[in-house]
Structure 1
Amino acid sequence: MRSAICVFIVLNTLFTGVQSRAQESSVAKDREVEELRQTVRDLAARVAALEEQLHKQTTVAVPALSTTLNDGTPTVASSSSLSAVKESEVSKGVAAPAESSNPAVAKSSSAAPAESQVAAVVPAQLPGGATLNYYFDGYYGYDFNHPTGRVQYLRAYDVLSNAFSINQAGLVLAMDPNVEEGRRYGVRLDLQFGQATETLQGNPANEPRPEIYRNIFQAYGTYVFPVGKGLTVDVGKWSSSMGIEGNYTKDQMNYTRSFFFNYLPFYHMGVRANYKLNDKVAVNYWLVNGTQQSEPTNSFKDELFGLALQPKKNVSWTINYYLGQDHPDVTQNPQGCGTAPIQPGLCLQPITPAPDGKQHIFDTYATWNVTPKLTLAGEGDYVISRLWKNAAPGQSSAPSHVIGGAAYARYQWTPKMALAGRTEYLSDRGGLFSGTTQALKEFTGTYEYKVADGLLTRLEYRRDWTNRPFFLTNKPGVLSQNQDTLTVGLVWWYGGKQGAW
């Protein structure tokens, strides 16, 4: 009996302990459930706040992010754009999600908001297929001659030594024709500011009113006529295609420009036509006011006849002949025009007799993409210019000549790094280019590093030399036969236009 009582006491004690522990466990579980419910309520409140902020954000952002199809139908921003806005809000601290363990995912998550925000603030695409494009080109140059006034002779853009300078800042609006989509017209507008404007645009020596066109580098309309394979006609002001080099540094092999870029025409105003005979041959014809003449200084209209050849896919060859007469037949009237209702700058008087000599430019250049990494190019030019067609009393009809050429090479070492070189010879007989008869030569070596898409830097050494003292030094009145410079250039661009500008 005593043993039975002992067993009962032990079992009762064990049962009571288990029951009490079960009760304690139940209380703990109830507490955890309540905490979880509170957490869910807090999260729901945060989600509601996020949705409200997202709604406010997309109300503003969606129109900026929306695009238009080629047929003019508007489309709403994609869900990826909206998610980018949401990620942007999250990154500001509304809610901090755990970081992805995948670097690629993390990179794309951070890049998407940045790109969408830039596109919303700085648009690159416009309705109808037009693009907006932005450009900045700056440099620091150093001339080892330490020239007086820090002036570097015969340079197109890098004209100053020991100075941080803006080569150019620009805005380009472009809409190319697209016959396949039913749009035969196009338009191009390039606005330009900085040293390039001073270099490229006209001056009173060859334009009556250069100031009113000063910042318009290009402005022309295009129409493709349904003739054969398509006759493309441009009307307006455009950058000259004589010479292999162009205005935008990002599309050139070197940072500085050649002597021939600085000498040959920069722009023309008039009408031009291009017709592609086949996949290998296209012909060009221009009828323009003159060289560097938005407004003409005489009644003669200059002409260009050109061929664009592509004998192979990796070879292109351009041949141009230009006939011009750029000597003015009027000049500003120093006494004014009295009270006559004349536009400012157009109070003119005739020059009698007016020079009637012609200018002939023979220009050719070719590019050969030897391999995907190696590109070679060459240019040859012959220019002859006369002040008078025939010898006038007391005048000479002897011509002045510019003869020479340039050779180029570029090697794309890595996707980010490239090396380029240029060598050039220009015989300036009569001083058409430099103002004095001399034989000019130059060599340029360029190292390029592409920081990112739309951002590149160039480090460049250049040596100019000639057969007579010509370049400035730090001693007044003392000239040097050579000019050595070191230049660091920075080029930034952004926009919807692909390829060369």
Structure 2
Amino acid sequence: MRRKIEQLEARISQMEYEKTVAISGDVPGKKVSSELNAKVVSTSQEKEQNKGLAPEDRSVLDFFRGTTINMTLDGYYGYNFNRPVGGINLLRAYDVTSNSFSLNQAAIVIEQSPNVEAGRRFGMRLDLQYGQATETVQGNAGNEPRPQVYRNVWQAYGTYVAPIGKGVTVDFGKFAGALGYETNYTKDNFNYSRAYFFNYLPFYHFGFRASYPVSDKLTAMYWLVNGANQSEDFNGFKSQALLLTYKPTKRVTVQANYYAGQEQRDRNPALNPTFASFPTQPGLSTDLIRPVLRGRFHVLDAYATFNITDKLTLALEGDYVINRIQTNSAPARVTGGAAYLRYQFQPKFALGGRFEYLSDRGGLFSGSTQALKENTVTADYKLAEGFLLRGEWRRDFSNQLFFLTNRPGLLKKEQNTATLGLVWWFGRKEGSW
């Protein structure tokens, strides 16, 4: 019976084909036969290739199907109208030089995310970064016992989705911080330069983090890490954080974060590279600091994003930071906030603005007590998908004489900069990196 049905289907297909030819006036000839034969041959070859594909080759293809390899290149030219000594823009995270063609960052991001539906509960991510940005986020022995060991590793962590409830996602390794609204890669921000709070709040952490979707609108995350900007711990104290992400509607996202740690080191850095003082790796220090500095570091951070329309986005950020050297020491505080605005006039053109205030009582951020403000306006022009031209005007100002000028020892209360940035990115990873 099944064979007869197949014969009938074939006969009907032939009749429909002959009817189409009669209506169009075309007479089937050699060209049609050749095309049909080519399709048959092509299909047969594909089947033969699939049959002959070794399991090892199939696993390689599956790997690349689930893995994204992404690259970005970010450079700029900036001019500081103070003409500062050394061509240095103070308080800038990435656009640190004036009157110089500069490489902000060149990075490669390799990621394979878990795919529970496909039966793979684990994944991994590796970000390698080079350029001036590297010196900011992985700069010196002030925050790292051995910064050169990890200098170009921006992120490196493995992921496992534990089959608990809706799935607990656990990461281990070095990962970017989530305190503050802005992120590492320029293409994912409204402005070319970064805010004071991006420059001050922790850039990265090393340890564990776990997240769980409490509901469709609320996600909770917990961290247990070495500390702020510490790939290797320098005091033996483990810092913790609790982060909550709430999405009441598809156009509003709110994040509230609390971080607590002990960020004073208990041993002096060792000169590195040099000869090891013990049969171990260079740079590991046994020069203890006494008395032990046990003061705590606390951060309250919150920000919200409002996609008011498809073209207009508003974001607000507020921060409160307090630090003590000893438990009974006078506290130093950083408080303030920022507002971010972006309007997409056309698919290729957008304007972004940032308005920020930071009170630095005790010099935690800038090294001296002062009130800082900055206003930034940025124009985006997307020359092509993955190629962005960004022009920016920024004004920093303080209530104290702080910013460099062209005369050593002569300071000003403000600095103004104009910057032109070029950003390229490639790869299949969607959204923010």
TM-score category (smaller protein): 0.7 to 0.9
Is 1:219 matched with 2:146? Answer: no
- Equivalent position amino acid for 1:142 in 2: Y
TM-score (norm. length: structure 2): 0.85
Q: Which residue of 2 aligns with 1:415?
A: 347
The answer to whether the 8 Å contact 1:356/1:387 transfers is yes
Distance in 1 separating the partners of 2:270 and 2:102: 37
User: By how many angstroms is 1:342 displaced?
Assistant: 2.5
List runs of 5+ in structure 1 lacking aligned partners: 1-61, 76-124, 391-396
The answer to whether the 8 Å contact 2:141/2:269 transfers is no
Is 1:134 matched with 2:71? Answer: yes
- Equivalent position amino acid for 1:133 in 2: N
The higher radius of gyration belongs to 1
- Superposed, 1:452-463 pairs within 5 Å as 452-463=384-395
Q: 2:230 aligns with which of 293, 298, 302?
A: 293
Q: 2:136 aligns with which of 191, 199, 213?
A: 199
The answer to whether the 8 Å contact 2:267/2:285 transfers is no
Higher helix residue share: 1
Q: Which residue of 1 aligns with 2:46?
A: none
For residues 226-275 of structure 1, give each alpha carbon's deviation from its aligned partner in whole angstroms, at most 9, with x where no partner exists. Answer: 11111000000000010000000001000100000000000000000000
Is 1:468 matched with 2:406? Answer: no
What secondary structure does 1:410 align onto? strand
Q: 1:340 aligns with which of 270, 275, 278?
A: 278
Structure 1 residues 381 and 278: alpha-carbon distance in aligned structure 2, compared to 1, 3 A threshold: same
The answer to whether the 8 Å contact 1:72/1:127 transfers is no
Identity of aligned residues (%): 58
Distance in 2 separating the partners of 1:291 and 1:389: 19
Q: Which residue of 1 aligns with 2:324?
A: 386
List runs of 5+ in structure 2 lacking aligned partners: 1-48
For residues 377-419 of structure 1, give each alpha carbon's deviation from its aligned partner in whole angstroms, at most 9, with x where no partner exists. Answer: 01000000000012xxxxxx10000000000110000000001
Distance in 2 separating the partners of 1:344 and 1:492: 38
TM-score (norm. length: structure 1): 0.73
Distance in 2 separating the partners of 1:188 and 1:444: 33
User: By how many angstroms is 1:207 displaced?
Assistant: 1.6
For residues 426-484 of structure 1, give each alpha carbon's deviation from its aligned partner in whole angstroms, at most 9, with x where no partner exists. Answer: 00000000000000000000110000000001110000000011000111111010010
What secondary structure does 1:377 align onto? strand
Q: Which residue of 1 aligns with 2:382?
A: 450
Distance in 2 separating the partners of 1:430 and 1:338: 37
Distance in 2 separating the partners of 1:432 and 1:252: 25
- Equivalent position amino acid for 1:487 in 2: T
Is 1:364 matched with 2:302? Answer: yes
User: By how many angstroms is 1:346 displaced?
Assistant: 1.1
Is 1:284 matched with 2:221? Answer: yes
Is 1:308 matched with 2:245? Answer: yes
Q: 1:242 aligns with which of 150, 171, 179?
A: 179
Q: Which residue of 1 aligns with 2:80?
A: 143
Structure 1 residues 340 and 145: alpha-carbon distance in aligned structure 2, compared to 1, 3 A threshold: closer
What secondary structure does 2:237 align onto? coil
Greater relative contact order (CA < 8 Å, ≥ 6 in sequence) = 2
The answer to whether the 8 Å contact 1:68/1:74 transfers is no
What secondary structure does 1:350 align onto? coil
Distance in 2 separating the partners of 1:471 and 1:324: 31
Distance in 2 separating the partners of 1:446 and 1:332: 40
User: By how many angstroms is 1:206 displaced?
Assistant: 2.0
- Equivalent position amino acid for 1:490 in 2: L
What secondary structure does 1:330 align onto? coil
Q: Which residue of 1 aligns with 2:11?
A: none
Is 1:398 matched with 2:330? Answer: yes
Q: Which residue of 1 aligns with 2:45?
A: none
How many positions carry a matched residue from both structures?
379
What is the root-mean-square deviation of aligned Cα atoms in Å? 2.1
